[in-house]
């Protein structure tokens, strides 16, 4: 546990396995009580024992001050995620969008230019088009699966590039290594949203990214009980984002960090099951006549399969190569939007809900054209397969198909 007088518990050696680090990184026995596990520090402010201690803090000695500026429980989570991502530092945020927005607001002053992926989460797109534009930031989009297109979108004013490792919702695979080369040549910062994969499958910093953002609500939590976000990267970049977060009042609450610390301990174990279940379901969906298309980089005919194999292979040594592609997939029904209702209503196990990364499967109709996003849960795969088979059998199929 973090000693408020030191502010820096030792990180776990990188030579340890990711499951070991998920449990131990950023944590030690509580220095006051010996409690095993990080206590919940639900404090607004932190006292100083003397004026001399205040002066020492002003000279750089570590000490907590006010919860908006930092909290011992949150600090332990930050250290854990920094360790898992291979980053110098990390900062917790109130939500995933707080992580993304604070990062971009820090990196992009008025007059700057951003190259963003054509495949991004809808709320992210809204932030780029509305909030950033109103702050005088120009945004152009490019397909991050095509490095030539990304390089062509760069201008002399480009200060950052933004992509999702696997995009939400159609799992378009970004060529992070190539984007990193483009960013370095332009003197820009590559920001990668790693929400769909988590550090259990991918560490973008090892592939050329400068900053990683997460909606910690998803796989880092794993249970759907709290909101949160994390930004990880170089110490100077994270320090700048931290200042922006404090000014916005968008820092992570201590209770959210406490829940996320508990969830993170089982991250690699959960992701392994999510991934193997998703691989099985993707094959079932691809073979069913009611399904027109499956978006899942683990399928050999997926356009991002080759790049995805390179990205996720090194960071998931405990997961079989053919199932190292995460727990997310999307599919489009042959019957179009008319088929979505019958299929979703026939399913017994997945809950019709937004969000992702929970223990239970979550399913959501995306765009009114028959596209469905599925967050594959930890249920027994035989039960999931049987449930989807019976639901898909009820889907209307256009004449001449199936």
Q: Is 68 a catalytic residue?
A: yes
In-domain check, residue 10: no
In-domain check, residue 307: yes
- Give yes or no for a contact between 265 and 84, defined as CB atoms under 8 angstroms apart: no
Tell me the per-residue pLDDT of 348-380, one tens digit each, with 9 for 90 and over.
999 999 999 999 999 999 988 899 999 999 999
The CATH number linked to 139 is: 3.40.640.10
* Active-site residue, selected from the candidate residues 193, 210, 302, 358: 193
Same-domain status, 144 and 208: yes
Same-domain status, 43 and 179: yes
Which pLDDT score is estimated for 111?
A: 97
Model pTM? 0.94
Q: Is 121 a catalytic residue?
A: yes
Which pLDDT score is estimated for 401?
A: 60
pLDDT of 266 strictly over 80: yes
* Active-site residue, selected from the candidate residues 80, 83, 121, 219: 121
Q: Give the residue-averaged pLDDT of 198-215.
A: 97
Mean pLDDT of all residues belonging to the chain? 94
pLDDT of 8 strictly over 80: no
E strand segments, 134-210: 138-142, 158-164, 189-193
Q: Domain ends where: 203, 231, 264?
A: 264
In-domain check, residue 141: yes
Number of domains in the chain: 2
Same-domain status, 259 and 271: no
* Active-site residue, selected from the candidate residues 46, 68, 234, 243: 68
pLDDT of 30 strictly over 50: yes
Same-domain status, 253 and 345: no
Same-domain status, 185 and 283: no
pLDDT of 2 strictly over 60: no
Tell me which long-range contacts 297-306 makes (C-beta under 8 A, separation of at least 24): 297/166, 297/171, 297/173, 297/325, 298/322, 298/323, 298/324, 298/325, 302/171, 302/173, 303/145, 303/173, 304/145, 304/166, 304/171, 304/172, 304/173, 305/173
Same-domain status, 124 and 252: yes
Same-domain status, 329 and 376: yes
Tell me the per-residue pLDDT of 114-128, one tens digit each, with 9 for 90 and over.
999 999 999 999 999
CA 367 to chain centre: 22
**Mean pLDDT lowest among 3-17, 212-226, 268-282:** 3-17
- Give yes or no for a contact between 158 and 169, defined as CB atoms under 8 angstroms apart: no
In-domain check, residue 386: yes
Tell me the per-residue pLDDT of 279-293, one tens digit each, with 9 for 90 and over.
999 999 999 999 999
Q: Is 49 a catalytic residue?
A: no
Tell me the per-residue pLDDT of 93-110, one tens digit each, with 9 for 90 and over.
999 999 999 999 999 999
- Is residue 320 very low, low, confident or very high in pLDDT (cuts 50, 70, 90)? confident
Same-domain status, 35 and 130: yes
Which pLDDT score is estimated for 12?
A: 60
Residue 372, number of CB atoms within 10 A of its CB: 24
Which pLDDT score is estimated for 367?
A: 85
Q: Is 66 a catalytic residue?
A: no
The CATH number linked to 386 is: 3.90.1150.10
Q: Domain ends where: 264, 293, 311?
A: 264
b/e per residue, 72-87, with b = 16+ CB within 10 A?
Answer: bbbbbbbbbbbbbbeb
Same-domain status, 49 and 193: yes
In-domain check, residue 124: yes
Same-domain status, 96 and 154: yes
* Active-site residue, selected from the candidate residues 203, 218, 273, 332: 218
In-domain check, residue 291: yes
| Domain range for 354 | 267-392
Q: Domain ends where: 218, 249, 264?
A: 264
Same-domain status, 233 and 355: no
Same-domain status, 280 and 220: no
């Amino acid at each position: 546990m973090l000693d408020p007088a030191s502010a820096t518990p030792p990180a776990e050696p990188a030579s340890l396995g990711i499951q070991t680090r998920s449990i131990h990184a950023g944590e030690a026995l509580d220095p006051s009580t010996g409690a095993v596990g990080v206590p919940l520090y639900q404090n607004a402010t932190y006292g100083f024992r003397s004026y001399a201690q205040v002066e020492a803090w002003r000279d750089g000695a570590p000490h907590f001050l006010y919860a908006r500026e930092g909290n011992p429980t949150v600090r332990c989570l930050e250290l854990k995620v920094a360790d898992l991502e291979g980053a110098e530092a990390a900062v917790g945020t109130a939500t995933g969008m707080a992580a993304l927005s604070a990062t971009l607001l820090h990196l992009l002053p008025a007059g700057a230019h951003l190259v963003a992926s054509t495949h991004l989460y809808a709320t992210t797109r809204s932030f780029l088009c509305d909030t950033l534009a109103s702050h005088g930031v120009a945004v152009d989009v490019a397909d991050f699966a095509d490095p030539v297109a990304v390089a062509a979108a760069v201008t002399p004013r480009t200060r950052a590039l933004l992509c999702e490792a696997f995009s939400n919702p159609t799992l378009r695979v970004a060529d992070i290594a190539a984007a990193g080369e483009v960013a370095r040549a332009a003197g820009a910062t590559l920001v990668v949203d790693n929400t769909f994969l988590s550090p259990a499958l991918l560490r973008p910093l090892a592939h050329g990214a400068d900053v990683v953002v997460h909606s910690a609500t998803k796989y880092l939590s794993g249970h759907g009980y709290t909101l949160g976000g994390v930004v990880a990267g170089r110490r100077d970049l994270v320090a700048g984002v931290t200042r922006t977060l404090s000014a916005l009042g968008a820092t992570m609450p201590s209770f959210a960090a406490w829940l996320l610390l508990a969830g993170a301990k089982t991250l690699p174990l959960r992701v392994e099951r999510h991934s193997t279940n998703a691989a099985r379901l993707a094959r079932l969906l691809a073979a069913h006549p009611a399904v027109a298309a499956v978006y899942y980089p683990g399928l050999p005919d997926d356009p991002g399969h080759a790049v995805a194999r390179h990205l996720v292979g090194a960071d998931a040594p405990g997961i079989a190569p053919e199932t190292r592609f995460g727990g997310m997939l999307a599919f489009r029904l042959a019957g179009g939007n008319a088929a979505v209702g019958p299929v979703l209503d026939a399913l017994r196990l997945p809950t019709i809900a937004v969000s992702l990364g929970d223990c239970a499967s979550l399913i959501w109709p995306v765009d009114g054209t028959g596209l469905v996003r599925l967050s594959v849960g930890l249920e027994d795969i035989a039960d999931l397969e049987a449930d989807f088979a019976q639901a898909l059998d009820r889907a209307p199929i256009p004449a001449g198909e199936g």
